Amino acid sequence: MEQHRTRTPQRRQAPAPEQAPVAPRGGVAGAAAAPVAVADAPVAAKPGGRAAGQGAHPGRVAPFVLALRRFPDPRLTGIGAGLFAVAAMFLLGCLDQLLLDGSEPAYGLLFLPVSALTALWVRPADLVTAPISVPIAFAVGVVPIAGGTGGFGGQAMAVVTALAVQAGWLYGGTLVAGLIATVRKVRQMRERQRHLARAAAAQGARRPRS
C-alpha cells in the first residue's frame, strides 16, 4: 500500500514592516532628510517710505561742527581760566609789538577769540568768572603795546589811554564772554531740570500702586 504522506501547509510569514531610519542625536539626519523651507521675514519699512538698510544715508554733519568736536575741551577753574586769558593776551601783546609794531586793531581782533575760549573752557561752576577775567586780561595785554615812557606814572597813563581808545574791542570781547557764559548757564539749568524730571518719573514708577 502506498503510504500517503501528509503535508502540513506552511504558513507564509508576513514581511516585516520597514523600520524608519533612526536619526542620531542632535537631529542632523532628520534635518538632512527633510529640508525645511525658511520664509523670508518682511523688512520693516521706515516712516520715510524706505526699508531699513536700503537707501538710508546717515545724517551729514557740518564741517564746522566736526572742527569744533576735534578742538580740545578742557575744564578750567575760575582762577585757571583767568590765568589762561591773562597769559594769552600778554603773549599776544608781545607778539603784536614785535611783529606789527603795536597794532591796536590786530590786538583787538585777537582778544575776541581769547574771550570766547575763556568762556568755553571754564567749568560750569565758575561761569560767572569769565566776563570778569577777560577785561583784566585785556588790560594786562595792553601793557606791551601801550608805548608809555617816563617811569611808572607815564606807563600807567599810556595803559589808561590805550584802554580808552580800544574800549570798543574791550566791550566786544567782554560781551562775547558774557553771552557764551549765559548760554552755557541756561543749558546747564535745562539739563538739571530734565534730570530732576526723569528722577521724579522713575521714582513714581517704582512706587507700588495701592
Q: Residue-wise pLDDT tens for the chain (210 aa)?
A: 444 444 544 555 555 555 545 444 544 444 444 444 444 444 444 444 444 444 444 456 666 556 656 656 678 898 999 999 999 999 999 999 999 888 889 999 999 999 999 999 999 989 999 999 999 999 999 998 887 676 777 888 888 888 998 999 999 999 999 999 999 999 989 988 888 888 878 877 776 665
Query: What pLDDT score does 128 carry?
Result: 92
For residue 51, the SS3 value is: strand
Residue 57 backbone dihedrals phi, psi, to 5 degrees: -110, 130
**Whole-angstrom Cα distance, residue 177 to residue 120?**
8
Query: What pLDDT score does 202 carry?
Result: 80
Task: Report the candidate in 104, 173, 168 with the shortest Cα–Cα distance to residue 136.
Answer: 173
Q: Is the pTM of this model over 0.85?
A: no
For residue 76, the SS3 value is: strand
157 DSSP β-pair partners: none
**Whole-angstrom Cα distance, residue 58 to residue 158?**
57
Taking each helix axis from N to C end, the angle separating 104-121 and 78-99, rounded to the nearest 10 degrees, works out to 160
177 and 134 Cβ atoms separated by less than 8 Å: yes
108 and 153 Cβ atoms separated by less than 8 Å: no
The length of the chain, given as a count of residues: 210
Query: What pLDDT score does 121 carry?
Result: 92
**Whole-angstrom Cα distance, residue 174 to residue 133?**
9
146 and 162 Cβ atoms separated by less than 8 Å: yes
Using a 10 angstrom Cβ sphere, with 0-12 exposed, 13-18 middle and 19 or more buried, the burial of residue 91 is: middle
Query: What pLDDT score does 183 carry?
Result: 94
Residue ranges of the alpha helices (H) in 10-77?
Answer: 28-33, 63-70
